[in-house]
Amino acid sequence: MDDLRPASRLDIAAVAALLSEPARVSIVSALMDGQSRPATELARIAGVSPSTGSEHLALLTRGGLLRVEQHGRHRYHRLSSDEVARAFESLSLLTTRPVRSASIDPDDAAFRRARTCYRHLAGELGVGLVDALLERRLVRREGLRYTLTAVGQRRGTALGLVEETDGLLEGRACLDWTERRDHLAGPLGVGLTEGLLELGWVRRKPGTRALRVTVDGARGFRDAFGLSVEAG
């Protein structure tokens, strides 16, 4: 039997306590798009006053869930690591009544269609892209690990979706909150998502994790991967 020490229980309880306040959950949800935001914006998203928002941000930072970046005279907050994002997304799978905030509304069709899960593509488009990559043998899957194949590397480089590297990019499976199927995370998932944004196939929707597929993107997904995706 595992040795469940009191300190371990206290550590888990401390993290759970940080996420027991809806305003703090809204703040973490807003930062699940991988972006950095100032305290005033996060307080507005959480629906609290700037002073109360600062208190919540201080607790989340001391608890290790957020980190602060200084840009000149301005301070911005972001998630402290990929592990925090992964844990938060996993907790979302357990909820029976999703948290609502300006940055996340699971009833929104755009949110379900395409969004970021921290720094990688999620939603219907995310899981659909994984299916297409596997079907065309551009990636291979072993357990929870995905690896870009040599063919996928050449195809992705030609499209401008991935950069040339000495080795093949790898990623991992991430269970999608709304689709309950895996999308692609890890370095490969992040790299592909950054490539899609740089090519202009998808655009961020301000103030939300949802992504908008552009006209060029709809054409690109169809021609490159056989995916039928509506623009807009």
Give tens-digit pLDDT for 184-193.
Answer: 999 999 999 9
- Residue 44, Cβ neighbours under 10 Å: how many? 17
Q: Are 65 and 46 in contact (CB under 8 A)?
A: no
Rounded mean pLDDT of 95-122?
70
- What's the confidence (pLDDT) of residue 167? 66
What's the mean pLDDT in 121-134?
Answer: 96
Tokens of 152: 């996928």
pLDDT category at 105 given cuts 50, 70, 90 is: low
Q: Kindly indicate the confidence band of residue 99, based on its pLDDT and cuts at 50, 70 and 90.
A: very low
Question: Residue 102 — pLDDT band, cuts 50, 70, 90?
Answer: very low
The domain locations on the chain are: 6-92, 109-225
Place of tokens 């949110």: 111
- Closest Cα partner for 187 from 130, 116, 119? 119
Cα angle 76, 24, 103; round to 5: 70
Can you give the pLDDT at residue 54? 95
Amino acid occupying residue 201: W
Q: What is the pTM of this model?
A: 0.75
Nearest residue to 74 (alpha-carbon basis) of 101, 41, 122, 52: 41
89 vs 203, which has greater pLDDT? Answer: 203
pLDDT at position 8 is 42
Cβ atoms of residues 192 and 156 within 8 Å: yes
Decide if pLDDT at 10 tops 70: no
pLDDT at position 223, please? 96
Least confidently predicted of 31-45, 95-109, 161-175: 95-109
What's the CATH number for 6-92?
1.10.10.10
Q: What is the pLDDT of residue 7?
A: 42
Mean pLDDT for the chain overall: 86
**CA 114, CA 38: separation in Å to the nearest integer?**
25
